[in-house]
């Protein structure tokens, strides 16, 4: 148990659905991250939030919409996804957002887009 | 961030120490060595990190050579639950964690 929780753990959705992934950290951290991990591909950083402000967006398609209402919660809103978006979506958090801090990951949400 | 080289796989007997090597010959002076592991279909788990000195915590020990061009992660008493992919990363101040292929460690009873 790392102190970072993600729900749901598994999600199956059609291309026309709208769903949201939730991440919560109980570590008192102030930076949160979304990563995508596809089969046989490197870990891809998607978004970074530092003190609720988005500080990085790595050219992620607009069908992925992040939301960070406070330092403990992070959401990833999904709409009109494609089958190639099927992957493990990982949330992480760290104390501070300078890029030097250790990141702690949640268990991930396994997403399947049909 | 500097590139790392790890063996693709290794086996280890349960109860024995597992020594996982990592080469990072182009590491810069301000880059830390980090180790994470990932059990199948779960999120990566932080293990340990260090800059120059050897480090130890409740999970593992990290031995960094004096020239910092290589390091070894030591799991002192491997258990079946230590079966995972282990990633060695060097990073300075970049948000992005770049995981390579890692070493697939299989602990056998």
Place of tokens 């050579």: B65
**pLDDT of A30:** 92
Indicate yes or no: CB of A90 within 8 angstroms of CB of B94.
Answer: no
**pLDDT of B68:** 95
**pLDDT of B49:** 95
pLDDT band at A56 (very low <50, low <70, confident <90, very high): confident
Least Cα distance to A34 among A78, A85, A93 occurs for: A93
- What average pLDDT does the segment B84-101 reach? 85
- B65-86 tens-digit pLDDT: 999 999 999 999 999 999 999 9
pLDDT band at A24 (very low <50, low <70, confident <90, very high): very high
**pLDDT of B4:** 93
- B5-43 tens-digit pLDDT: 999 999 999 999 999 999 999 998 889 999 999 998 889
Backbone angles phi, psi at A81, to 5 degrees: -75, 165
* Smallest Cα distance from A26 to chain B, Å: 16
Cα end-to-end distance, chain A, whole Å: 31
Choice between B30 and B61, residue whose per-residue pLDDT is larger: B61
**pLDDT of B109:** 94
Residues above pLDDT 90, as percent of chain A: 76
* Smallest Cα distance from A100 to chain B, Å: 4
Q: Spell out which residues of chain B touch residue A4, defining contact as CB-CB under 8 Å.
A: 43
Q: Which of B33, B96, B98 to mutate to test the interface with A (most CBs of A within 10 A)?
A: B96
Min mean pLDDT across A36-40, A57-61, A66-70, A94-98 is at: A94-98
Dihedral of the alpha carbons of B61, B101, A38, B18, in degrees to the nearest 10: -30
**Cis peptide leading into residue B34 (ω within 30°):** no
* Smallest Cα distance from B37 to chain A, Å: 11
- What average pLDDT does the segment B77-99 reach? 89
**pLDDT of B1:** 59
**pLDDT of B94:** 75
Average pLDDT, chain A: 92
Using a CB–CB cutoff of 8 Å, tell me whether A110 touches chain B. yes
- What average pLDDT does the segment B47-55 reach? 94
List CB contacts of A78: < 8 A, sequence separation 6 or more: A13, A17, A18, A19, A20, A21, A63, A64, A65, A85, A111
Cα end-to-end distance, chain B, whole Å: 37
Residue A100 has pLDDT above 80, yes or no: no
């Amino acid at each position: 148990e790392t102190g970072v929780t993600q729900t749901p753990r598994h999600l199956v959705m059609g291309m026309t659905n709208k769903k949201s992934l939730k991440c919560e950290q109980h570590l008192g951290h102030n930076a949160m991250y979304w990563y995508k991990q596809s089969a046989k591909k490197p870990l891809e950083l998607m978004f970074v939030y530092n003190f609720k402000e988005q500080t990085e967006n790595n050219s992620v398609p607009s069908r992925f919409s992040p939301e960070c209402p406070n330092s403990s919660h992070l959401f990833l809103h999904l709409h009109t996804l494609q089958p190639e978006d099927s992957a493990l979506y990982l949330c992480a958090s760290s104390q501070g957002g300078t890029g030097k801090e250790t990141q702690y990951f949640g268990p991930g949400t396994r997403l399947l887009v049909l | 961030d500097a590139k790392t080289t790890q063996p693709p796989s290794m086996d280890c007997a349960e109860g024995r120490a597992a020594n996982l090597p990592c080469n990072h010959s182009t590491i810069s002076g301000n880059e830390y060595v980090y180790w994470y592991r990932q059990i199948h279909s779960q999120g990566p788990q932080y293990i340990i990190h260090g800059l120059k000195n050897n480090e130890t915590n409740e999970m593992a020990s990290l031995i960094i050579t004096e020239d910092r061009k290589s390091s070894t992660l030591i799991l002192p008493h491997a258990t079946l639950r230590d079966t995972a992919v282990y990633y060695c990363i060097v990073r300075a101040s970049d948000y992005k964690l770049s995981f390579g292929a890692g070493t697939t460690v299989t602990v056998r009873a």
